[in-house]
Structures are given as structure tokens and as C-alpha cells.
């Protein structure tokens, strides 16, 4: 920051932080967002400024996407994983979780239940495997879910998002043909340096970017995202993440605070405290909404892990997607990506009931019986 900028910040902070925040928002919405404005939005902790930014993000959401919250029932169907990400609780080297893969019938039943709740969409998420047996299993699951969830309300069955990692173009195409139309593949960070610090050498930044491009080319609605508050992550890295979301043409963003998991190598690395990671994550949501007003943005479970009302706060900062936990209770504890994951003992029914109240408490309503895709960006 130059001396002139520092004086400018001090002066506006004392006199009218809200006015300066309004100018930042206007610059961002003018269509030529500059790095410095995004840095300021992510870095400010002046309450007045944050509130102006939040309100502008919420307004952008209401204008471009309406007041509905789109639900995707989350089915964590397998915790078997061949990768060894340094931050993740189900990484290959962690011997603690009992490894499971749900039977096809149970996956289909769970998806059917989600459809009956009016969720409109499901997310099939698992650890990463690239063997043929796995690919065939996912194809079969997608087909079976489509067949089992067609109804008067949902003529084409529930919308299916896959979240099962990096795969070959052929496999992605096969799943798309089978009926999955959205794919969630988080970049985790757009910084090649940080990416390399989070993953073993065989996991490559470039191949993840290639996968995102392949998914787009096939026709998927593509979601990506990052973890916020990672050890060594700077505000500039997060600004780069925002530009990455824009440049890759993301239809959806799912991101949340990084939360250390005790049984992972990164657990002892120092991180910002909980309130700092929480507010940073919320400001990232607001900045994403202001930059890309018509996309879908998730209020993630990780937000709720750090604050009981974390997902509602996410909605207030511009998010419009929630993934209610639908994973069968008997395996839920084995799918612990980070410490303190909530809702481990609540049945899917309890999660559904609790959610509705949370959503209406922030003045939103649930979009029922629809896939709830974002309108395509031009
Ligand atoms: N903290 C926060 N998010 C995590 N994920 C995995 N481990 C953690 C963690 N320790 C997220 C990753 C992954 C998604 C399924 O869960 O972003 O893409």
C-alpha cells in the first residue's frame, strides 16, 4: 500500500467508512473491478463498511437471483479415497475412519427421499477414485436415481451434481450422458504455490484446471471453490481466487473456512482465529456475489461448523444454495473432512425441519421441486 493510500484509508475510516464502502461497491459493480477494491473489501473489518458491503451483496442477489434458496441433498456415498490431501480427514493415509461405500439401493433410496422433500437436486459426493469399477458404479447410480425420482413435480427427476474429483474426459462424458448435469470440483486455491503446499506432488494444479475446462466443454454446470483462511494464504491470493472464478466461467461457487482436522499433517500449522476466518469467509461470499451477481453460491457446512448460525450468515452475505445433510446416519461420522462437523447425530428428517426455520429466519424461501440452476452468464 502506498503512503497516500494509507492516509486515505485512515481518513475515510474516521470520517465516513460507509460512504467509502459504497464507492468500493459501485466500482466493483461498474464492470471493471480492480484488484485494490477487492483487496479492501476482503480486508476491511470496520463494521460500517462490512455492513454496506453485505447489504449490497444481498441486494445484488435479490436482483439477479431472487429470494429463493436452492437445496441440494448431500449424499456422501463413499469415504474411500486414493488421494492424500494434507488438510482432509478422509485422506488415504488416515487410518481412523472405517471405510465405506453405500449400496446402490441405499443411495437411490436417499435420493428418492430428497426428491420427496422437494429438494429438487442431490449432490453425490465421495472420496476420489479413478478405477473403472468406480466409474461404472457412479454411472449406474446416476441412471437409477434419475429413474427413481421422476414425478409430476419433477418430470426429469432430481438434478444431480457430482462431486467425485478429477477424472478422465471419457468418464466425465459418460456421467453427463447418464444424466448428471452439474459437477463440483473445488480448486481449493487458485495459487499454484499454495496448491503445491496443500497436496502431494502427484496432485497437479494444471490437471485440476484442465478438468474444470473439460467439464465446461462437455456441458456441465460447473461449480468450483476454495478454502478460506488456509495457512500461508494472503488477501491477494483470495483476490486471485475471485478472478479465477470469473475467468474459468464458474456457474456455482462452494467455499468455506479452512478448519484443521486433528488427524492430518496440516493440523498444527498456524491459522487465523475462528472469528477472523469466519468474517473473511463471509466477505469472500459478498465479494463473489458482487463480482458475479447471477451465479449460485453455497452457504457451506464449514460456515456452520465455526458458528451455529453460519449458514444463515452466508445467506445474508449473498449465498443462495444450501446442501442439507442427507447422508445415512450410520456412516455420517466416517465422513469427517474437518473437526467439529455439525449434524452428525441428526436424522435427515431433523436436518430438513431445522433448515426451513433457518432459511425463513433470514427472509428467504425454499425453491421446491426445481433443479435451481443459475441463469447462464453471457
Ligand atoms: N477444512 C475445510 N474444508 C475442507 N475440505 C476438505 N478438508 C477441509 C478442511 N480441513 C473441503 C475441500 C473439499 C470439500 C469436499 O471439502 O474444499 O473440496
Which ligand 1 atom sits nearest the alpha carbon of residue 339? 10
Task: Give residue-wise pLDDT tens across range 315-335.
Answer: 999 999 999 999 999 999 999
Which ligand 1 atom sits nearest the alpha carbon of residue 227? 17
The per-residue pLDDT for 4 is 42
Pick the residue with more confidence: 259 or 23? 259
Task: Give residue-wise pLDDT tens across range 137-176.
Answer: 999 999 999 999 999 999 999 999 999 999 999 999 999 9
The per-residue pLDDT for 164 is 98
Percent of the chain exceeding pLDDT 70 equals: 95
Ligand 1 centroid from CA 352, angstroms: 23
Average pLDDT over residues 338-362: 89
Which ligand 1 atom sits nearest the alpha carbon of residue 337? 7
The per-residue pLDDT for 338 is 94
Is there an atom of ligand 1 within 6 Å of 259 CB?
A: yes
The per-residue pLDDT for 289 is 97
pLDDT bucket at 343, cuts 50 / 70 / 90? confident
Contact 82, 128 (CB under 8 A): yes
pLDDT bucket at 351, cuts 50 / 70 / 90? confident
81 annotated as ligand-binding: yes
The per-residue pLDDT for 345 is 86
Annotated domain spans of the chain: 68-367
The per-residue pLDDT for 23 is 87
Residues whose CB is less than 8 angstroms from the CB of residue 154 and which lie 6 or more positions away in sequence, other chains included: 115, 120, 369, 370
Helix axes 205-218, 169-178, angle to 10 degrees: 40
Ligand 1 centroid from CA 341, angstroms: 11
Q: Would you say residue 300 has pLDDT above 70?
A: yes
Is there an atom of ligand 1 within 6 Å of 86 CB?
A: no
CA distance 314 to 319: 6
The per-residue pLDDT for 377 is 58
Average pLDDT over residues 26-48: 90
Ligand 1 centroid from CA 358, angstroms: 23
Which ligand 1 atom sits nearest the alpha carbon of residue 87? 10
Task: Indicate which residue's Cα is closest to atom 7 of ligand 1.
Answer: 88
Q: Would you say residue 276 has pLDDT above 60?
A: yes
Residue to probe by mutation, ligand 1, list 338, 341, 342, most atoms within 8 Å of CB:
338
DSSP for 221-286, written as a single string: EEEE-BEES-TT--HHHHHHHHHHHHHHT-SEEEEEE----TTSGGGGS----HHHHHHHHHHHHH
The per-residue pLDDT for 29 is 84
The per-residue pLDDT for 376 is 67
343 annotated as ligand-binding: no
The mean pLDDT of the chain is 93
CA distance 302 to 92: 21
Is there an atom of ligand 1 within 6 Å of 338 CB?
A: yes
Q: Would you say residue 209 has pLDDT above 70?
A: yes
Is there an atom of ligand 1 within 6 Å of 258 CB?
A: yes
- The superfamily CATH assigns to domain 68-367 is Aldolase class I (3.20.20.70)
pLDDT bucket at 78, cuts 50 / 70 / 90? very high
Average pLDDT over residues 271-283: 97
Contact 242, 287 (CB under 8 A): yes
Is there an atom of ligand 1 within 6 Å of 88 CB?
A: yes
Amino acid at each position: 500500500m502506498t503512503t497516500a493510500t494509507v492516509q486515505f484509508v485512515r481518513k475515510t475510516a474516521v470520517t465516513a467508512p460507509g460512504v467509502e464502502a459504497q464507492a468500493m461497491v459501485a466500482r466493483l459493480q461498474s464492470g471493471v473491478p480492480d484488484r485494490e477494491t477487492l483487496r479492501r473489501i476482503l480486508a476491511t473489518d470496520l463494521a460500517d463498511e462490512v455492513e454496506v458491503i453485505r447489504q449490497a451483496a444481498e441486494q445484488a442477489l435479490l436482483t439477479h437471483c431472487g429470494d429463493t434458496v436452492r437445496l441440494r441433498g448431500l449424499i456422501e456415498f463413499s469415504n474411500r479415497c486414493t488421494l492424500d490431501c494434507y488438510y482432509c480427514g478422509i485422506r488415504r493415509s488416515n487410518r481412523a475412519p472405517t471405510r465405506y461405500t453405500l449400496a446402490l439401493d441405499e443411495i437411490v433410496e436417499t435420493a428418492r427421499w430428497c426428491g420427496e422433500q422437494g429438494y429438487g437436486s442431490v449432490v453425490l459426493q465421495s472420496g476420489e477414485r479413478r478405477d473403472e469399477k468406480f466409474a461404472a458404479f457412479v454411472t449406474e447410480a446416476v441412471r437409477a436415481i434419475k429413474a427413481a425420482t421422476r414425478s409430476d413435480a419433477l418430470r426429469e427427476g432430481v438434478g444431480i451434481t457430482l462431486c467425485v474429483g478429477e477424472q478422465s474426459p471419457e468418464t466425465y462424458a459418460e456421467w453427463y450422458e447418464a444424466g448428471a448435469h452439474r459437477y463440483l470440483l473445488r480448486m481449493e486455491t487458485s495459487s499454484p504455490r499454495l496448491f503445491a503446499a496443500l497436496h502431494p506432488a502427484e496432485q497437479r494444479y494444471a490437471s485440476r484446471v484442465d478438468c474444470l475446462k473439460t467439464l465446461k466443454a462437455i456441458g456441465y454446470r460447473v461449480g468450483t471453490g476454495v478454502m478460506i483462511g488456509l495457512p500461508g494464504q494472503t488477501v491477494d491470493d483470495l483476490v486471485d481466487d475471485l478472478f479465477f472464478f470469473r475467468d474459468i466461467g464458474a456457474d456455482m461457487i462452494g467455499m468455506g473456512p479452512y478448519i484443521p482436522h486433528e488427524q492430518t499433517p496440516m493440523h498444527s500449522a498456524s491459522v487465523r482465529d475462528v472469528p477472523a476466518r469466519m468474517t473473511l469467509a463471509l466477505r469472500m461470499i459478498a465479494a463473489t456475489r458482487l463480482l458475479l451477481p447471477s451465479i449460485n453460491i453455497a452457504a457451506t457446512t464449514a460456515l456452520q461448523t465455526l458458528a451455529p448460525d453460519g449458514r444463515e450468515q452466508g445467506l445474508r452475505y449473498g449465498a443462495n444454495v444450501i446442501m442439507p445433510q442427507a447422508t445415512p446416519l450410520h456412516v455420517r461420522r466416517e465422513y469427517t473432512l474437518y473437526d467439529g462437523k455439525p449434524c452428525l447425530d441428526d436424522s435427515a428428517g431433523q436436518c430438513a425441519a431445522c433448515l426451513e426455520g433457518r432459511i425463513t429466519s433470514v427472509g428467504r424461501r425454499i425453491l421446491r421441486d426445481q433443479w435451481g440452476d443459475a441463469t447462464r452468464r453471457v
